[in-house]
Amino acid sequence: MQHKDDLSIRAATRADLDEVLAFWKVAAEGTSISDDRAGVVRLVERDPACLLLAECEGRLAGTVIAGFDGWRCHLYRLAVHPAQRRRGVATALLAAAEERFVRLGGRRGDAMVLDDNARAQHAWRAAGYEPESRWSRWVKHLPD
């Protein structure tokens, strides 16, 4: 069953952030050092249109962060509520993110996907994304 007119996509506001953080605990796989209120507030203050929310019948159904740094398009936190999966929510969120990237001049989207999250890998492949085996992610946690 696909969502049709009852699904809407919009940018998050500061008023949404507590709900988003609680939502990620239910719908997202894994956490990151910046998955806290301060981190998400900084994100939305820096780029108010980057955190996209999918709502169905007034309830949060999914999220994606569509960040553009002026050079590259990065996708994070594609998450769909378990009760809303396989209904087109992720597809609608990714379409909105890709439209945003094109408007901003982006030419390639990339996503960070956990190696052991088979469900997410399937969803990303279905949306036309492929793993880039030539690259590895390198990280360093910075001091507070």
pLDDT tens digit sequence for 36-53: 899 999 999 999 999 999
d(CA 25, CA 125): 24
> Which DSSP category does 79 fall into?
E
CB atoms closer than 10 angstroms to residue 117: 13
∠ CA 34-39-45, rounded to 5°: 145
3-state helix, strand, coil in the chain (%, to 5): 35, 20, 40
pTM: 0.91
- Please write the tens of the pLDDT for every residue from 102-132: 999 999 999 988 888 898 999 999 999 999 9
Token pair listed for 68: 């553009």
CA-closest candidate to residue 8, choices 53, 48, 49, 51: 53
Domains of the chain by range and CATH? 7-126 (3.40.630.30)
